[in-house]
Amino acid sequence: MRFVSCRLMSPAVSDLSPDPGEIATLVALRRDLHAHPELGFEEVRTSAIVKTFLAECGLDVQAGIGGTGVVGTLRGRAGGPSIALRADMDALAMPETAERPHRSTIPGRMHACGHDGHTAMLLGAARALARRNDLAGTVHFVFQPAEEGRGGAQAMVEDGLFERFQIDRFYGLHNMPGIPVGRMAVVPGAQLASSDRWHVTFRGVGTHGGKPHLGRDPIVAAGQFLTSLQTVVSRGTDPIQTAVVSACAIQAGDFEALNVIPDDIRIGGTARAYSHAVRDRLEAEIGRVADGIASANGIAADYAFHRQMPPVVNDDDATVRATNAALAALGEENVITAFPPSTAGDDFAIFSSRVPGAYVWLGNGPAQDGALHHNGHYDFNDDALAHGIRFWTTLVAQELRAI
Ligand SMILES: [Zn+2]
Ligand SMILES: [Zn+2]
Protein backbone atom coordinates (compact mmCIF):
# COMPACT_ATOMS: atom_id res chain seq x y z
CA MET A 1 0.00 0.00 0.00
CA ARG A 2 1.29 3.47 -0.88
CA PHE A 3 0.64 6.47 1.29
CA VAL A 4 0.52 9.99 -0.03
CA SER A 5 2.68 12.32 1.98
CA CYS A 6 0.83 15.45 2.98
CA ARG A 7 3.87 17.32 4.19
CA LEU A 8 4.05 19.60 1.21
CA MET A 9 0.42 20.59 1.30
CA SER A 10 0.08 20.80 5.09
CA PRO A 11 0.39 23.96 7.14
CA ALA A 12 3.10 23.97 9.79
CA VAL A 13 2.36 21.35 12.44
CA SER A 14 2.34 24.05 15.10
CA ASP A 15 -0.73 25.61 13.44
CA LEU A 16 -2.69 22.53 14.44
CA SER A 17 -1.24 22.15 17.93
CA PRO A 18 -3.08 23.24 21.06
CA ASP A 19 -1.25 25.92 23.03
CA PRO A 20 0.39 25.05 26.38
CA GLY A 21 -2.35 26.73 28.39
CA GLU A 22 -5.01 24.64 26.67
CA ILE A 23 -2.98 21.48 27.26
CA ALA A 24 -2.67 22.30 30.97
CA THR A 25 -6.47 22.70 31.13
CA LEU A 26 -6.99 19.38 29.40
CA VAL A 27 -4.48 17.60 31.67
CA ALA A 28 -6.44 18.87 34.67
CA LEU A 29 -9.66 17.65 33.06
CA ARG A 30 -8.11 14.25 32.29
CA ARG A 31 -6.93 13.86 35.88
CA ASP A 32 -10.33 14.86 37.22
CA LEU A 33 -11.93 12.15 35.06
CA HIS A 34 -9.30 9.69 36.30
CA ALA A 35 -10.12 10.50 39.91
CA HIS A 36 -13.85 9.95 39.26
CA PRO A 37 -14.12 6.73 37.24
CA GLU A 38 -17.55 5.41 36.26
CA LEU A 39 -18.51 1.99 34.91
CA GLY A 40 -20.28 1.41 31.59
CA PHE A 41 -23.74 3.04 31.33
CA GLU A 42 -23.08 4.72 34.69
CA GLU A 43 -21.00 7.58 33.20
CA VAL A 44 -23.44 10.21 34.47
CA ARG A 45 -20.85 12.64 35.80
CA THR A 46 -18.49 12.10 32.85
CA SER A 47 -21.16 12.53 30.22
CA ALA A 48 -22.44 15.70 31.93
CA ILE A 49 -18.91 17.14 31.77
CA VAL A 50 -18.64 16.17 28.10
CA LYS A 51 -22.03 17.64 27.26
CA THR A 52 -21.25 20.96 28.95
CA PHE A 53 -17.80 21.19 27.36
CA LEU A 54 -19.13 20.57 23.85
CA ALA A 55 -22.00 23.00 24.29
CA GLU A 56 -19.59 25.70 25.47
CA CYS A 57 -17.61 25.09 22.25
CA GLY A 58 -20.76 25.99 20.31
CA LEU A 59 -21.43 22.48 18.98
CA ASP A 60 -24.86 20.91 18.57
CA VAL A 61 -25.03 18.38 21.40
CA GLN A 62 -27.27 15.36 21.73
CA ALA A 63 -26.97 13.48 25.01
CA GLY A 64 -28.52 10.29 26.33
CA ILE A 65 -27.84 8.29 23.16
CA GLY A 66 -27.59 4.62 24.14
CA GLY A 67 -27.83 5.56 27.81
CA THR A 68 -25.00 7.92 28.68
CA GLY A 69 -23.62 8.47 25.17
CA VAL A 70 -23.08 12.00 23.87
CA VAL A 71 -22.59 13.28 20.32
CA GLY A 72 -21.35 16.79 19.55
CA THR A 73 -21.71 17.93 15.94
CA LEU A 74 -19.62 20.58 14.21
CA ARG A 75 -20.90 21.73 10.84
CA GLY A 76 -18.70 23.47 8.32
CA ARG A 77 -19.61 24.66 4.85
CA ALA A 78 -21.72 22.40 2.67
CA GLY A 79 -20.05 20.04 0.25
CA GLY A 80 -17.68 18.05 2.43
CA PRO A 81 -17.99 14.58 3.94
CA SER A 82 -19.55 13.69 7.26
CA ILE A 83 -17.19 11.81 9.56
CA ALA A 84 -17.33 10.55 13.15
CA LEU A 85 -14.57 10.34 15.75
CA ARG A 86 -15.01 8.01 18.74
CA ALA A 87 -13.83 8.31 22.35
CA ASP A 88 -14.90 5.84 25.04
CA MET A 89 -15.70 7.13 28.53
CA ASP A 90 -16.01 4.13 30.86
CA ALA A 91 -13.74 2.75 33.57
CA LEU A 92 -13.21 -0.74 34.99
CA ALA A 93 -14.49 -2.52 38.11
CA MET A 94 -11.08 -2.89 39.73
CA PRO A 95 -9.16 -1.07 42.47
CA GLU A 96 -6.39 1.41 41.64
CA THR A 97 -3.29 0.12 43.43
CA ALA A 98 -0.91 2.95 42.54
CA GLU A 99 -0.44 6.05 44.69
CA ARG A 100 -0.76 9.23 42.63
CA PRO A 101 -2.32 12.64 43.19
CA HIS A 102 -5.20 11.95 40.83
CA ARG A 103 -5.81 8.41 42.13
CA SER A 104 -9.37 7.05 41.91
CA THR A 105 -11.61 8.39 44.65
CA ILE A 106 -14.11 5.57 44.15
CA PRO A 107 -13.27 2.17 45.70
CA GLY A 108 -13.22 -0.68 43.21
CA ARG A 109 -13.39 1.62 40.18
CA MET A 110 -10.48 2.64 38.01
CA HIS A 111 -9.57 4.15 34.65
CA ALA A 112 -7.10 1.37 33.84
CA CYS A 113 -7.52 1.49 30.05
CA GLY A 114 -6.89 5.19 29.46
CA HIS A 115 -10.43 6.11 28.42
CA ASP A 116 -10.04 9.23 30.58
CA GLY A 117 -7.31 10.28 28.15
CA HIS A 118 -9.41 9.42 25.08
CA THR A 119 -12.25 11.59 26.38
CA ALA A 120 -9.96 14.55 27.19
CA MET A 121 -8.23 14.35 23.80
CA LEU A 122 -11.43 14.30 21.79
CA LEU A 123 -12.79 17.23 23.81
CA GLY A 124 -9.56 19.12 23.13
CA ALA A 125 -9.86 18.37 19.42
CA ALA A 126 -13.50 19.51 19.40
CA ARG A 127 -12.59 22.84 20.99
CA ALA A 128 -9.70 23.43 18.58
CA LEU A 129 -11.81 22.58 15.55
CA ALA A 130 -14.80 24.61 16.71
CA ARG A 131 -12.65 27.75 16.37
CA ARG A 132 -12.04 27.15 12.68
CA ASN A 133 -14.14 28.52 9.86
CA ASP A 134 -12.40 26.80 6.96
CA LEU A 135 -14.00 23.35 7.16
CA ALA A 136 -16.26 21.89 4.48
CA GLY A 137 -18.40 19.08 5.83
CA THR A 138 -19.48 17.75 9.20
CA VAL A 139 -17.71 16.06 12.08
CA HIS A 140 -19.50 14.16 14.84
CA PHE A 141 -17.60 13.76 18.12
CA VAL A 142 -18.96 10.50 19.52
CA PHE A 143 -18.49 9.87 23.24
CA GLN A 144 -19.40 6.25 23.74
CA PRO A 145 -20.46 4.62 27.01
CA ALA A 146 -19.63 1.10 28.14
CA GLU A 147 -16.82 -0.04 25.86
CA GLU A 148 -15.49 -2.53 28.42
CA GLY A 149 -17.74 -5.44 27.56
CA ARG A 150 -21.07 -3.83 28.42
CA GLY A 151 -22.21 -3.11 24.88
CA GLY A 152 -22.12 0.69 24.66
CA ALA A 153 -21.56 0.84 20.89
CA GLN A 154 -24.47 -1.51 20.26
CA ALA A 155 -26.66 0.57 22.56
CA MET A 156 -25.86 3.72 20.58
CA VAL A 157 -26.62 1.95 17.31
CA GLU A 158 -29.93 0.63 18.67
CA ASP A 159 -30.74 4.16 19.79
CA GLY A 160 -30.48 5.32 16.19
CA LEU A 161 -26.91 6.64 15.94
CA PHE A 162 -26.72 5.97 12.20
CA GLU A 163 -30.25 7.24 11.53
CA ARG A 164 -29.77 10.44 13.52
CA PHE A 165 -26.36 11.27 12.07
CA GLN A 166 -24.99 10.96 8.56
CA ILE A 167 -21.65 9.15 8.93
CA ASP A 168 -19.48 8.40 5.90
CA ARG A 169 -16.41 7.24 7.82
CA PHE A 170 -15.77 6.37 11.48
CA TYR A 171 -12.43 6.73 13.25
CA GLY A 172 -11.31 5.36 16.63
CA LEU A 173 -8.14 5.82 18.64
CA HIS A 174 -6.72 3.87 21.59
CA ASN A 175 -3.63 4.51 23.67
CA MET A 176 -0.96 1.81 23.59
CA PRO A 177 1.83 1.33 26.14
CA GLY A 178 5.09 0.26 24.55
CA ILE A 179 4.74 2.68 21.63
CA PRO A 180 6.77 5.82 22.45
CA VAL A 181 4.94 9.07 23.16
CA GLY A 182 4.73 11.12 19.98
CA ARG A 183 4.39 8.06 17.78
CA MET A 184 1.37 6.28 16.37
CA ALA A 185 0.65 2.96 14.71
CA VAL A 186 -1.74 3.13 11.77
CA VAL A 187 -2.06 -0.27 10.20
CA PRO A 188 -4.31 -1.70 7.49
CA GLY A 189 -6.43 -4.80 8.11
CA ALA A 190 -7.22 -6.52 11.40
CA GLN A 191 -6.52 -4.62 14.63
CA LEU A 192 -8.52 -6.45 17.27
CA ALA A 193 -10.15 -9.86 17.39
CA SER A 194 -13.79 -10.77 17.48
CA SER A 195 -14.87 -11.88 20.93
CA ASP A 196 -17.74 -14.37 21.15
CA ARG A 197 -18.99 -16.89 23.73
CA TRP A 198 -20.15 -20.43 23.13
CA HIS A 199 -21.95 -23.03 25.27
CA VAL A 200 -22.34 -26.78 24.78
CA THR A 201 -24.51 -28.96 27.02
CA PHE A 202 -24.26 -32.72 26.54
CA ARG A 203 -27.50 -34.35 27.62
CA GLY A 204 -27.05 -38.01 28.55
CA VAL A 205 -28.85 -40.37 30.90
CA GLY A 206 -27.66 -40.36 34.50
CA THR A 207 -27.05 -43.65 36.20
CA HIS A 208 -25.16 -45.45 38.96
CA GLY A 209 -21.40 -44.91 38.70
CA GLY A 210 -20.89 -48.66 39.03
CA LYS A 211 -23.36 -49.47 36.25
CA PRO A 212 -22.48 -47.11 33.39
CA HIS A 213 -24.02 -49.43 30.78
CA LEU A 214 -27.48 -48.62 32.20
CA GLY A 215 -27.20 -44.93 31.24
CA ARG A 216 -25.50 -42.66 28.69
CA ASP A 217 -22.46 -40.95 30.16
CA PRO A 218 -22.15 -37.26 29.19
CA ILE A 219 -18.81 -36.87 31.00
CA VAL A 220 -16.99 -39.20 28.61
CA ALA A 221 -18.50 -37.28 25.71
CA ALA A 222 -17.25 -34.02 27.22
CA GLY A 223 -13.74 -35.44 27.46
CA GLN A 224 -13.80 -36.39 23.79
CA PHE A 225 -15.23 -33.01 22.88
CA LEU A 226 -12.50 -31.07 24.69
CA THR A 227 -9.73 -32.86 22.80
CA SER A 228 -11.58 -32.71 19.46
CA LEU A 229 -12.23 -29.01 20.02
CA GLN A 230 -8.54 -28.39 19.36
CA THR A 231 -9.05 -29.48 15.74
CA VAL A 232 -11.41 -26.57 15.11
CA VAL A 233 -8.34 -24.35 14.83
CA SER A 234 -5.67 -26.87 13.81
CA ARG A 235 -7.73 -28.69 11.12
CA GLY A 236 -10.79 -26.55 10.49
CA THR A 237 -9.19 -23.11 10.03
CA ASP A 238 -7.00 -21.88 7.17
CA PRO A 239 -3.41 -22.10 8.51
CA ILE A 240 -2.71 -18.60 7.16
CA GLN A 241 -5.49 -17.20 9.34
CA THR A 242 -5.52 -16.77 13.12
CA ALA A 243 -8.16 -18.11 15.48
CA VAL A 244 -8.48 -18.92 19.17
CA VAL A 245 -10.97 -21.37 20.67
CA SER A 246 -10.75 -21.94 24.42
CA ALA A 247 -12.97 -23.91 26.80
CA CYS A 248 -13.00 -21.84 29.99
CA ALA A 249 -15.69 -23.40 32.20
CA ILE A 250 -17.03 -26.90 32.82
CA GLN A 251 -19.74 -27.98 35.20
CA ALA A 252 -21.21 -31.42 36.06
CA GLY A 253 -21.77 -33.88 38.87
CA ASP A 254 -21.17 -33.49 42.58
CA PHE A 255 -18.09 -34.30 44.63
CA GLU A 256 -20.45 -35.47 47.40
CA ALA A 257 -21.93 -38.07 45.02
CA LEU A 258 -19.02 -39.86 43.39
CA ASN A 259 -21.17 -42.91 42.65
CA VAL A 260 -23.51 -40.93 40.38
CA ILE A 261 -23.01 -40.32 36.66
CA PRO A 262 -24.93 -37.06 36.02
CA ASP A 263 -27.50 -36.45 33.30
CA ASP A 264 -25.80 -33.40 31.87
CA ILE A 265 -22.48 -31.62 31.53
CA ARG A 266 -22.11 -28.00 30.53
CA ILE A 267 -19.05 -26.47 28.87
CA GLY A 268 -18.47 -22.86 27.88
CA GLY A 269 -15.69 -20.85 26.32
CA THR A 270 -14.54 -18.09 24.02
CA ALA A 271 -13.85 -17.89 20.27
CA ARG A 272 -11.77 -15.18 18.62
CA ALA A 273 -10.89 -14.37 15.03
CA TYR A 274 -9.55 -11.51 12.93
CA SER A 275 -11.89 -11.90 9.98
CA HIS A 276 -15.63 -12.26 9.53
CA ALA A 277 -15.10 -15.44 7.47
CA VAL A 278 -13.04 -17.19 10.16
CA ARG A 279 -15.53 -16.09 12.80
CA ASP A 280 -18.38 -17.71 10.82
CA ARG A 281 -16.28 -20.82 10.43
CA LEU A 282 -15.61 -21.11 14.19
CA GLU A 283 -19.32 -20.86 14.92
CA ALA A 284 -20.10 -23.69 12.51
CA GLU A 285 -17.17 -25.95 13.42
CA ILE A 286 -17.61 -25.91 17.21
CA GLY A 287 -21.24 -26.93 16.74
CA ARG A 288 -20.31 -29.61 14.23
CA VAL A 289 -17.79 -31.18 16.62
CA ALA A 290 -20.30 -31.08 19.51
CA ASP A 291 -23.01 -32.74 17.40
CA GLY A 292 -20.63 -35.40 16.11
CA ILE A 293 -19.36 -36.31 19.57
CA ALA A 294 -22.90 -36.42 20.93
CA SER A 295 -24.01 -38.67 18.11
CA ALA A 296 -21.07 -41.05 18.62
CA ASN A 297 -22.03 -41.36 22.29
CA GLY A 298 -25.76 -41.79 21.68
CA ILE A 299 -26.64 -38.59 23.52
CA ALA A 300 -27.82 -35.09 22.59
CA ALA A 301 -25.95 -31.79 22.47
CA ASP A 302 -27.39 -28.30 22.87
CA TYR A 303 -25.16 -25.70 21.24
CA ALA A 304 -25.29 -21.93 21.34
CA PHE A 305 -22.86 -19.39 19.90
CA HIS A 306 -23.37 -15.87 21.26
CA ARG A 307 -21.97 -13.17 19.00
CA GLN A 308 -20.70 -10.38 21.19
CA MET A 309 -18.18 -8.36 19.24
CA PRO A 310 -17.01 -8.44 15.62
CA PRO A 311 -13.32 -8.02 14.79
CA VAL A 312 -11.97 -4.51 14.22
CA VAL A 313 -10.81 -4.59 10.58
CA ASN A 314 -9.53 -1.32 9.15
CA ASP A 315 -10.92 -0.25 5.81
CA ASP A 316 -8.16 0.35 3.24
CA ASP A 317 -9.30 3.82 2.16
CA ALA A 318 -9.95 5.03 5.73
CA THR A 319 -6.54 3.67 6.74
CA VAL A 320 -4.84 5.70 4.01
CA ARG A 321 -6.66 8.81 5.24
CA ALA A 322 -5.67 8.13 8.87
CA THR A 323 -2.09 7.44 7.83
CA ASN A 324 -1.87 10.69 5.91
CA ALA A 325 -3.18 12.56 8.95
CA ALA A 326 -0.65 10.85 11.22
CA LEU A 327 2.20 11.63 8.79
CA ALA A 328 1.25 15.29 8.68
CA ALA A 329 0.60 15.54 12.42
CA LEU A 330 3.56 13.61 13.81
CA GLY A 331 6.10 13.32 11.01
CA GLU A 332 7.06 10.36 8.87
CA GLU A 333 9.56 8.97 11.37
CA ASN A 334 6.83 8.72 14.02
CA VAL A 335 4.25 6.71 12.11
CA ILE A 336 4.41 2.94 12.44
CA THR A 337 2.65 1.08 9.64
CA ALA A 338 3.32 -2.49 10.83
CA PHE A 339 2.08 -3.44 14.28
CA PRO A 340 0.71 -6.79 15.47
CA PRO A 341 -3.03 -7.08 16.05
CA SER A 342 -4.35 -7.75 19.55
CA THR A 343 -6.51 -10.66 20.71
CA ALA A 344 -8.39 -8.20 22.91
CA GLY A 345 -11.58 -6.69 21.46
CA ASP A 346 -13.12 -3.23 21.12
CA ASP A 347 -16.76 -2.62 20.26
CA PHE A 348 -15.69 0.18 17.94
CA ALA A 349 -16.09 -2.83 15.60
CA ILE A 350 -19.87 -2.34 15.83
CA PHE A 351 -19.42 1.09 14.22
CA SER A 352 -16.74 0.15 11.69
CA SER A 353 -18.63 -2.89 10.43
CA ARG A 354 -21.46 -0.53 9.36
CA VAL A 355 -19.42 2.17 7.62
CA PRO A 356 -15.75 2.28 6.56
CA GLY A 357 -13.53 2.95 9.55
CA ALA A 358 -10.01 3.00 10.87
CA TYR A 359 -8.75 2.35 14.39
CA VAL A 360 -5.33 3.70 15.32
CA TRP A 361 -2.92 3.30 18.25
CA LEU A 362 -1.42 6.29 20.05
CA GLY A 363 1.88 5.84 21.88
CA ASN A 364 1.54 5.96 25.68
CA GLY A 365 5.28 5.51 26.30
CA PRO A 366 7.03 2.71 28.21
CA ALA A 367 4.89 0.57 30.51
CA GLN A 368 5.44 2.27 33.89
CA ASP A 369 6.29 -0.34 36.56
CA GLY A 370 5.42 -2.95 33.93
CA ALA A 371 1.78 -1.86 34.04
CA LEU A 372 -0.21 -2.56 30.90
CA HIS A 373 -3.91 -2.00 30.17
CA HIS A 374 -6.24 -3.28 32.93
CA ASN A 375 -3.46 -3.27 35.54
CA GLY A 376 -4.01 -1.51 38.87
CA HIS A 377 -0.96 0.71 38.22
CA TYR A 378 -1.90 1.76 34.69
CA ASP A 379 -2.32 5.41 33.80
CA PHE A 380 -2.83 7.40 30.63
CA ASN A 381 0.28 9.43 29.84
CA ASP A 382 -0.58 13.14 29.79
CA ASP A 383 2.38 13.79 27.49
CA ALA A 384 0.44 11.96 24.78
CA LEU A 385 -2.51 14.38 24.89
CA ALA A 386 -1.10 16.98 22.52
CA HIS A 387 -0.12 14.33 19.97
CA GLY A 388 -3.55 12.72 20.01
CA ILE A 389 -5.26 16.09 19.61
CA ARG A 390 -2.97 17.02 16.74
CA PHE A 391 -3.83 13.74 15.01
CA TRP A 392 -7.57 14.32 15.39
CA THR A 393 -7.46 17.95 14.26
CA THR A 394 -5.23 17.13 11.29
CA LEU A 395 -7.48 14.25 10.25
CA VAL A 396 -10.55 16.49 10.34
CA ALA A 397 -8.76 19.33 8.52
CA GLN A 398 -7.71 16.93 5.76
CA GLU A 399 -11.06 15.15 5.54
CA LEU A 400 -13.00 18.40 5.52
CA ARG A 401 -10.68 19.80 2.87
CA ALA A 402 -9.34 22.69 4.89
CA ILE A 403 -5.73 21.79 3.97
ZN1 LIG B 1 -9.90 -1.89 28.26
ZN1 LIG C 1 -9.77 0.54 26.27
Each residue's pLDDT tens digit, 101-123? 999 999 999 999 999 999 999 99
Q: Where are the alpha helices (DSSP H) in 64-136?
A: 115-130
Closest ligand to C-alpha of residue 117 is 2
Quick one: pLDDT at residue 369? 79
List the one residue out of 325, 315, 335 whose CA is nearest residue 389: 325
Which amino acid is located at 226 in the chain?
L
Closest ligand to C-alpha of residue 175 is 2
Give the domains, in start order, of the chain with CATH numbers.
13-191+311-399 (3.40.630.10), 195-309 (3.30.70.360)
Closest ligand to C-alpha of residue 88 is 2
Contacts of 235 (CB under 8 A, 6+ apart): none
**For 145-292, where are the E strands, in sequence order?**
169-176, 184-185, 189-192, 195-203, 207-208, 243-251, 260-261, 264-273
Rounded Cα distance, 141 and 88, in Å: 11
Ligand 2 geometric centre to CA of 341 (Å) = 14
Express as a percent the part of the chain with pLDDT over 70. Answer: 95
Ligand 1 geometric centre to CA of 371 (Å) = 13
Ligand 2 geometric centre to CA of 108 (Å) = 17
Closest ligand to C-alpha of residue 115 is 2
Express as a percent the part of the chain with pLDDT over 90. Answer: 91
Quick one: pLDDT at residue 377? 96
Ligand 1 geometric centre to CA of 194 (Å) = 14
- Mean pLDDT over 236-251 rounds to 95
Residues with beta carbon < 5 A to ion ligand 2?
113
Ligand 2 geometric centre to CA of 30 (Å) = 15
